Amino acid sequence: MMNYNALQAVLRQRISNGLEFTLNYTYSKAMTNSLGNYALNVNGFSGAFQNYYDSAADYGPAGYDVAHNVSGTLTYALPVGHGKHYFSSANRLTEEAVGGWKLSLAGVAYTGFPETITGPGNNSNSYGTSRPNQYRKLKVVHRTIDHWFGTDPSATPCTEPGVDNGVCAFGTPAPNTFGTGRNGNVRGPGFRNMDASAAKDFRIVGEHAVGFRFDAFNVFNIASYGNPDTGITDSNFGNISNSSGATRSTERHLQFSAHYTF
């Protein structure tokens, strides 16, 4: 079973005085009780039910669910130089230095994907990923990449089977029982990225021109992290820096290019 609901909005400025942009926003919710046989890059999901007699227990946010998603592009031809609002009567030297530049921005940001806390397989009748018991809501305080679920006592799992210490949010189920935790009960880090460019064509004579372009990918050098370890009996539980795929972003890249048109 799957369902998806969303609010989608677009704000668009068609070209006016050299400026045009598009801003997209989506607020959505995707729910399912199975991801199918093709896994996603999230933790704890399985195409099989934990308990085939209770498929509803696997119902929760889909692995690709993103609550908030914002993206946009902007292009601005600076109003500077010959025939423009500023320095319209500038000499050739000033025109070549400051006129005719075009700036562009492209960005995307979205909130984290659902992750599922997993537990040891204490039930031989479990077909899908084994989940722990969830005794209470996880309280996240002092979140870091080493402790993504925070340092509150509720973030320390109860590892004695079937025992709730009155504090932990998640615990190991008793032998031969199914965990009560749901799919998608925690969230991983979000993602942010911004690219920028500046370009200008220098006219030589007739149809001859030399164009220069500068591109900056991840211009603000934002680090977007991968998913934390979600196994309650793992030594790296809640840790991102020691997990595979610790980051989803690449470092800032700068690129310069030129082209000759004739």
Q: What is the pLDDT along the chain (262 residues), one digit of tens a residue?
A: 899 999 999 999 998 888 999 999 999 999 998 876 555 667 767 778 888 888 888 899 988 899 999 999 999 998 876 667 666 666 666 666 677 889 999 999 999 999 999 988 766 666 778 899 999 999 999 999 999 999 999 999 999 999 999 999 999 999 888 999 988 899 999 999 999 999 998 888 888 889 999 999 999 999 999 889 999 999 999 999 876 667 788 899 999 999 998 8
Identify whether 32 is part of a domain: yes
Angstrom distance (rounded) from CA 191 to CA 188: 10
Identify whether 198 is part of a domain: yes
So what's the pLDDT on residue 245?
65
Name the domain count of the chain. Answer: 1
Structural domain of residue 67, as residue ranges? 2-116+188-261
Give the CA dihedral 225, 231, 235, 236, nearest 10 degrees: 0
Identify whether 144 is part of a domain: no
So what's the pLDDT on residue 39?
54
So what's the pLDDT on residue 175?
87
Identify whether 224 is part of a domain: yes
Nearest alpha carbon to residue 196 among 171, 177, 221, 175 = 221
Identify whether 132 is part of a domain: no
Q: What share of the chain is helix, strand, coil (3-state, %, to 5)?
A: 5, 40, 55
Identify whether 121 is part of a domain: no
β-bridge partners, 247:
225
Nearest alpha carbon to residue 167 among 157, 179, 159, 182 = 157
Identify whether 155 is part of a domain: no
Identify whether 12 is part of a domain: yes
How many CB atoms are located within 10 Å of the residue 41 CB? 12
Angstrom distance (rounded) from CA 152 to CA 141: 6
Residues 6+ apart with CB under 8 A from 31: 2, 3, 4, 59, 60, 61, 62, 65
So what's the pLDDT on residue 163?
92
**Structural tokens at position 44:** 């704890």
**φ, ψ (nearest 5 deg) of residue 26:** -130, 125
Is the whole-model pTM more than 0.85? no
So what's the pLDDT on residue 188?
92
**Structural tokens at position 252:** 């800032």
Query: Terminal CA-to-CA distance of the chain, rounded, Å?
Result: 59
So what's the pLDDT on residue 244?
63
